[in-house]
Structure 1
Amino acid sequence: MSKKFNLNDDGVVVIIGSGAGGATLANELAQKGVDKIVILEAGKHFTQADFENDEWAMFNKISWLDKRISAGGWHHTKTYPNLPAWIVKAVGGSTVHWSGVALRFQEHDFRTRSIYGQVEGANVLDWPITLAELAPYYELAEKKMGVAGTAASGLPPMPESNQYKVVAAGARRIGYQKIIRPVASNSAPYDGRPGCQQIGFCMQGCKIGAKWSTLYTEIPRALATNRVELRPESMVLQIQHDKSGKVNGVLYADRKGRHVLQKARVVCVAGNSIESPRMLLNSASNMFRDGLANSSGQVGRNYMNHATAAAVAIHQKPVYMNRGFDIGAVVADEVALNTGRGFNGGYYLEGLALGLPYTAAFMKPGGWGRDVTSALEMYDHMTAVWVCGEDMAREQNGISLHPTEKDQYGLPIPIVSKTYHGNDEAIARHGLVQFRKLSEAVGASRVIDMPAYPASHNLGTNRMSANPRDGVVNKWGQTHDVKNLFISDGSQFTSSSAANPTLTIVALAIRQAEHIASQLQQRAI
């Protein structure tokens, strides 16, 4: 049983969200001696016993399926009009569902404005931190998460699956050399967790706990300190503040629908790039008329989810891509900065293995026909790829509140608006062409391009900036407007890079915990 804190205790650090950012922050703070921490999580507290090796069963069990609206020029308005994001509503957040790919940002990812210049139709900006500043925290994150193949963990790379062998062979035939397997899943027993058993249902929740997830790493360790209380099924409605503008409490709806107010000394928001700005916008007041911490007008803006595309290739012989870890291979040759290809930034080709049910659903959303069924008949001969490229920040892409429609909590439904920049479209096209080339180089008889999936990498909307007019938080994730309010998730990202975001979210959370603990000790917040 975890510690219980009084609702009127105004010395509590309230953390909203229990995913990569929130739960890591809670555990790091607790280990540093911060003795009053409450985690508010909107979703249920599942255990590994609740996980099923069944794609649709787990999709329906853990996904954030509260109504949202896809808007703007992206294809989601037609293919996934009410599912712009594929994320989790449960204790552990999207670390339950994530694929495990753990990649560092490159140096230029922190200086996009300096390197790219002013990009027409985009709102690019330099981060107020550098790779050199974050590098020690990347190492701590890789050790914490057990990233296979890194010096920090000492774990060997994940075994080569059939998917890896086919994708890697094709990649090498067209001149690629950097085929990697950077995953936060144990290739051997590590940190009290077993080695990966190559079951292949990584995105449905790892039943054996080999893949790093805050559900069974950070959260139990935080609770064991007796300094942390976890409150699942607690949907935050509003962050409140005092007359001076400092936040002093969080109003939430508990599992029975009762409205509960928890007093707070510090509030850290880690609800993902959709829910985090939604909370700030819903917390508007006479003092903060445009939303809490939104003097810049940037809350909810600059939404990014990577420039993405997907495809499957059908080969001459069986591959059985579903056997083994879900990301068999990552081709990293195209991620380097190289404007000679006609676009800024770069991309990874990630060999993401899909099960048969997801392949059927994603190949032609809402459609069917012989072109689909003839491909599915060859499922065991398939490889699949997900293009993951840098996404240009655009001010008009973002999260806003529906003017009339409310959800089950009485909150305005979020509208997720996205229109691709030409740079994003160029990256996606280039990636699909290259996947086709590498697949055909090893004899693929058919390559089928698919629409991008609902976004699982949701970034920006409360971005870091050196100047308060350009963003929402400073280099510590501390809001420019409210000194005891922090953002602790991917919404603080200033640029997307091409790297999957979880490793960077964890590194930033470890770094932020150091800062908050120091500030609390000095009574500066």
Structure 2
Amino acid sequence: MAATFDLNDSEVVVIVGSGAGGGTLANELAQKGVNKIVILEAGKQFTLEDIENDEWAMFSKLSWLDKRVTAGTWSPHRTAPNLPAWICKTVGGSTVHWTGVSLRFQPHEFKPLTTYGRVLDANLIDWPLSYEDMVPYYELAEKKMGVSGAPASGMPELPKSNNTLVAEAGARKIGYKNVVHRMAINSRPYDGRPGCQQIGFCVQGCKIGAKWSTLYTEIPRAIATGRVELRPEAMVLQIQHDKSGKVNGVLYADKNGTKHLQKARIVCVAGNSIESPRLLLNSASSKFTDGLANSSGQVGRNYMAHATAAAFAIHQKPVKMHRGTAVAAIVMDEQKHDPSRGFVAGYNLIVLSQGLPFAAAFLRTPNGWGREMTSVLDKYDHMSGVWICGEQMPMEQNGVTLHPTEKDQHGLPVPIVANSDHANDALIVKHALGQWRKMNDALGSNRIVEVPVWPAAHNLGTNRMSAKASDGVVNKWGQAHDVKNLFISDGSQFASSAVANPTLTIVALAIRQAEYIVDQMKRKQL
């Protein structure tokens, strides 16, 4: 039976957001005996029956389409000025939409400043934790999520599609050896969910539930404990605090626009790297004049969306990339740090399997519709795609600020999301596109078509972890330096983007954070 808690109950742990961080944290806390948890989710609650194998229908249904403004030199400022990130406004957050790629950070990526040294114009710091600290939590996350190909789950990798085989062949021809398909998608029945049927509409939501999502794993299990109340269509507007500075309540608007104040013992913010800093900035008060937990001035700064680009290769024979999962393979040979290439850090080549409607939408050749574009689409069944995922350098000027005049439907300033490439990012992209070309040229491909970068699906940083309070927003547990009972539980706490897709690390950090919160509650420290 689902729990309900009184708005005036000051013992409630409030979690803002229900995605990889918030949904996982809620379940972990509930399973560990925390008795009163309220999840406030801005979006609607869907079921598997609501998921359609239709690209545009699900884009409209799931995506966070509230007004936003882009700035900076990145491609979305021109191509998608009101959509800086393709993320979800729904119960389950972007775990409904994600592809399922589940990779660990490398040890050196937790120590970017130590590894790369000071990089001009980059705001690098080391994480206040290490890979060794994270290993047990990575293992727990891989088991929880059912990561195929990970020893923790015991599941083999998914079957290889033709697109996978093409990518492997091209990689081998230029000397690459580290091609994997490590996904939080069941390769066989696991944890009460079916094995993948290779339907291919992964980013529209997995209609059969083979892909891990908090929508149908963590959240139902949390609610089943009788310790968790989920309130969908509850847009959080402000976090409030007492005279001492401890947070004590969360103001939110329900689906009718009616405002409610939920009292709280602890608040955990797991919106995303846009909405989480926006919430802290919108929670400014006479005590926190620059925004809640912002004594460092780092709230909203250091936004990262990975160093990225995209391209299609057209082959001599059919590839039929629409068959199989949304990601066919990950070529990981260039993820290393090797300054001899002319840049610091590295990248992965994410080999895509993209449906025709999105391939057409993302293609957007310079001259638009016409023979240049239709000549590519004519060869759709011969195409394979790549999305480059490289480590983006954090820069203070890349980030989230509040619009000085424009308001949302709740009367709050809309976020301005600014992002520009660091010089190192551009070098990574150039090298990666060159290697992708070599892979496909080695197979005799007829044409490589570079396409504009679409809105970032990985948005990171803006409330980063730091050892020193002056360098970031939260400590190694995601606990705000300035406010003891305030936590950040999403990708905004990342101190660097690393190369890996972020979801596995967000889940691992949430498991680790839950342990810490429970321990501190037992010690009466929270």
> What TM-score results when the alignment is normalised by the length of structure 2?
0.99
Secondary structure, aligned partner of 2:195: coil
Shift of residue 409, structure 1, vs aligned partner: 1.3
Matched, 1:46 2:46: yes
Shift of residue 353, structure 1, vs aligned partner: 1.3
Q: Structure 2 CA distance, aligned partners of 1:252 and 1:470? A: 30
Q: Structure 2 CA distance, aligned partners of 1:419 and 1:66? A: 22
Q: Structure 2 CA distance, aligned partners of 1:442 and 1:419? A: 34
Q: Identify the residue that residue 395 of structure 1 maps to in structure 2.
A: 396
1:331 partner amino acid: V
Q: Structure 1 CA distance, aligned partners of 2:414 and 2:30? A: 34
> What TM-score results when the alignment is normalised by the length of structure 1?
0.99
Shift of residue 364, structure 1, vs aligned partner: 1.1
Q: Identify the residue that residue 357 of structure 2 maps to in structure 1.
A: 357
Q: Structure 2 CA distance, aligned partners of 1:311 and 1:419? A: 20
Aligned 1:441-480 pairs, distance under 5 A: 441-480=442-481
Q: Which runs of 5+ in 1 are unaligned?
A: none
Q: Identify the residue that residue 253 of structure 2 maps to in structure 1.
A: 253
Q: Identify the residue that residue 233 of structure 1 maps to in structure 2.
A: 233
Secondary structure, aligned partner of 2:289: coil
Secondary structure, aligned partner of 1:308: coil
Q: Structure 2 CA distance, aligned partners of 1:491 and 1:465? A: 12
Q: Identify the residue that residue 34 of structure 1 maps to in structure 2.
A: 34
Q: Identify the residue that residue 61 of structure 2 maps to in structure 1.
A: 61
1:521 partner amino acid: K
2:232 partner amino acid: P
Runs of 4+ in 1 over 2 A off after TM superposition: none
Secondary structure, aligned partner of 1:307: coil
Q: Structure 1 CA distance, aligned partners of 2:258 and 2:161? A: 49
Q: Structure 2 CA distance, aligned partners of 1:300 and 1:365? A: 33
Q: Structure 2 CA distance, aligned partners of 1:368 and 1:219? A: 44
Q: Identify the residue that residue 296 of structure 1 maps to in structure 2.
A: 296
Secondary structure, aligned partner of 2:262: strand
2:84 partner amino acid: P
Q: Structure 2 CA distance, aligned partners of 1:433 and 1:322? A: 24
Q: Identify the residue that residue 522 of structure 2 maps to in structure 1.
A: 521
Shift of residue 118, structure 1, vs aligned partner: 1.2
CA distance 1:365–1:54, change in 2 (3 Å): farther
Q: Structure 2 CA distance, aligned partners of 1:431 and 1:22? A: 34
**More deviation in 193-202 or 436-445?**
436-445
| Percentage of matched positions with identical amino acids | 68
Q: Is the 8 A contact 1:278 1:399 kept in 2?
A: yes
Q: Is the 8 A contact 1:102 1:502 kept in 2?
A: yes
2:130 partner amino acid: T
Q: Give the RMSD, CA atoms, in angstroms.
A: 0.8
Q: Identify the residue that residue 330 of structure 1 maps to in structure 2.
A: 330
Secondary structure, aligned partner of 1:354: coil
Q: Identify the residue that residue 161 of structure 2 maps to in structure 1.
A: 161
Aligned 1:184-203 pairs, distance under 5 A: 184-203=184-203
Q: Identify the residue that residue 410 of structure 1 maps to in structure 2.
A: 411
Q: Is the 8 A contact 1:79 1:365 kept in 2?
A: no
Q: Structure 1 CA distance, aligned partners of 2:305 and 2:28? A: 27
Shift of residue 2, structure 1, vs aligned partner: 1.6
Q: Which runs of 5+ in 2 are unaligned?
A: none
Aligned 1:118-133 pairs, distance under 5 A: 118-133=118-133
Q: Structure 2 CA distance, aligned partners of 1:75 and 1:336? A: 26
1:420 partner amino acid: D
Q: Identify the residue that residue 171 of structure 1 maps to in structure 2.
A: 171
Q: Structure 2 CA distance, aligned partners of 1:426 and 1:47? A: 43
2:505 partner amino acid: T
Q: Structure 2 CA distance, aligned partners of 1:274 and 1:350? A: 24
Shift of residue 440, structure 1, vs aligned partner: 1.2
Q: Structure 2 CA distance, aligned partners of 1:375 and 1:168? A: 23
Shift of residue 365, structure 1, vs aligned partner: 6.8
Shift of residue 326, structure 1, vs aligned partner: 1.0
Matched, 1:385 2:386: yes
Q: Structure 1 CA distance, aligned partners of 2:154 and 2:463? A: 35
1:278 partner amino acid: R
Q: Structure 2 CA distance, aligned partners of 1:165 and 1:348? A: 17
Q: Deviations over 1:220-277 (max 9, x none)?
A: 0000000000000000000000000000000000011000000000000000000000
Shift of residue 441, structure 1, vs aligned partner: 0.9
Matched, 1:348 2:362: no
Matched, 1:12 2:2: no
Shift of residue 417, structure 1, vs aligned partner: 0.3
Q: Structure 1 CA distance, aligned partners of 2:133 and 2:66? A: 38
Q: Identify the residue that residue 70 of structure 2 maps to in structure 1.
A: 70
1:243 partner amino acid: K
Q: Structure 2 CA distance, aligned partners of 1:406 and 1:93? A: 23
Q: Structure 2 CA distance, aligned partners of 1:490 and 1:475? A: 13
Q: Identify the residue that residue 180 of structure 1 maps to in structure 2.
A: 180
Aligned 1:269-280 pairs, distance under 5 A: 269-280=269-280
Shift of residue 68, structure 1, vs aligned partner: 0.6
Q: Is the 8 A contact 2:303 2:461 kept in 1?
A: yes
CA distance 1:365–1:489, change in 2 (3 Å): farther
Q: Is the 8 A contact 2:478 2:493 kept in 1?
A: yes
